[in-house]
Amino acid sequence: MYKLLFNLLFKKMDPERAHHLAFFWIRLAHSVPGLRSLVRAVLAPRDPKLRTTALGLDLPGPFGLGAGFDKDGIGIDGLSMLGFDFVEIGTVTGEAQPGNPAPRLFRLVEDRALINRMGFNNQGSARVAARLAARPHTSSTPVIGVNIGKTKVVPEDEATADYLKSAKALAPYADYLVVNVSSPNTPGLRNLQAVQVLGPLLWDVRKAADEVTTHHVPLLVKIAPDLADEDIDEIADMALHLGLDGIIATNTTIGREGLRTPAARIEEIGMGGLSGAPLKARSLEVLERLRKRTDGRLAIVSVGGIETAEDAWQRILAGADLVQGYSAFIYEGPFWMRKVHKGLSARLRAAGYASIGEAVGKGVRQAQPTVRDHEEDNDD
């Protein structure tokens, strides 16, 4: 069904317009009480065995939506209704900003990938904080991550103040907070990944978050897949040293290797971060490296190229406490989360683990019974 809708409608539309339209429908569906319950019942049933604890948070499953889809936190409950176990909003910057000129989002359908140079278009920390503050708290309120970044016009040497503004405004409403220093679309942002800059920045954000909250808000850093392996090790060591709660790996890549889309088209698209299937191998590699280095002492959220339940399962076995997806949601549609949940549940049971937490970091077991993707439900 969704494949047909994608081919007949979305594929022919400008990708950013398609995003706004689809997101509008999601919010609309959530605003109609009967429809909301129906959609939730169909798309978001979860095996209780998938319940998991990470970052000190209790979640209905390990599979969340990556940052960037809901930059301003306008549709969190609608996204939760579709079956995401948690929703990371943002990136939110200190000040509101329009982002880069359009077109700034491109589909590489043959590669099941996207290139974006959105440039943190968002309403700014004060407005997003006010929206989160106004949310009614109910039993179905999902876990909300808040991802913060630097306002484009703020110079690099004043970046800390901008992050602190967001941290102070948003930490009281965040179940976890993410310092994003890895988007390729804000000039100079990735320079903040250098540990001598990143360490003090994270330390200051930690203090700022503690000042405005009475409880511990988990703090994570989101890193790029393009870092050298030694830099990944350094960041992992620093995260442990600072007592950070976790690392999100990875953001989009500036690499363009191994794509099926013709080179001329890639050239025409130009700058931006590549996400989706081509990111899969590197994202898994970064996860494995982080796990080896940190050995379960901090939480790892793996994101990048996750398309199937098998992908998500492999990340969990490789040491991911939680996983996220974004690009595959665009290609697979609203039944994707249900499919991944069903596949994860089947794998968990086949492998004989009592919980997701038990499977984290167990590595790929040779003797493990396999559950093939085509054996799972294919009702989308």
Ligand X SMILES: Cc1cc2nc3c(=O)[nH]c(=O)nc-3n(C[C@H](O)[C@H](O)[C@H](O)COP(=O)(O)O)c2cc1C
In whole angstroms, the minimum distance from the beta carbon of 367 to ligand X comes to 30
- Annotated catalytic residue: which of 183, 283, 302, 327? 183
Output 67 or 286, the one with its CB closest to ligand X: 67
| Residue number with CB closer to ligand X (78 or 273) | 273
Question: Annotated catalytic, 183?
Answer: yes
Rank residues 275 and 294 by Cβ distance to ligand X and give the closer one: 275
Q: Closest residue to ligand X, Cβ-based?
A: 68
**Planar angle of CA 9, 73, 333, nearest 5 degrees:** 30
Residues found near ligand X in the complex (CB under 6 A): 66-68, 71, 90-91, 105, 114, 116, 118, 120, 147, 180, 183, 222, 251-252, 275-276, 279, 303-306, 325-328
**198 vs 351 by CB, closer to ligand X:** 198
> Pick from 302, 303, 179: which is nearest to 242 by CA?
179
Would you say 52 or 147 has its CB closer to ligand X? 147
Q: Look at residue 215 and give its three-state secondary structure.
A: coil
Query: Do residues 254 and 184 make contact, with C-beta atoms less than 8 angstroms apart?
Result: yes
Q: What share of the chain is helix, strand, coil (3-state, %, to 5)?
A: 45, 15, 35
CB of 166 to ligand X, least distance (A): 13
Closest CB 119 distance from ligand X, rounded Å: 9
Contacts (Cβ under 8 Å, ≥6 apart) of 332: 2, 307, 339, 380
CB of 36 to ligand X, least distance (A): 25
- Single-letter amino acid, residue 282: R
Full DSSP string of 68-137: TSSTTSSSHHHHHHTT-SEEEEEEEESS-B--SPSP-EEEEGGGTEEEE-----B--HHHHHHHHHTPPP
**Nearby residues of 127 by Cβ (< 8 Å), 6 or more positions away:** 72, 96
CB of 111 to ligand X, least distance (A): 11
Catalytic sites, residue numbers: 183
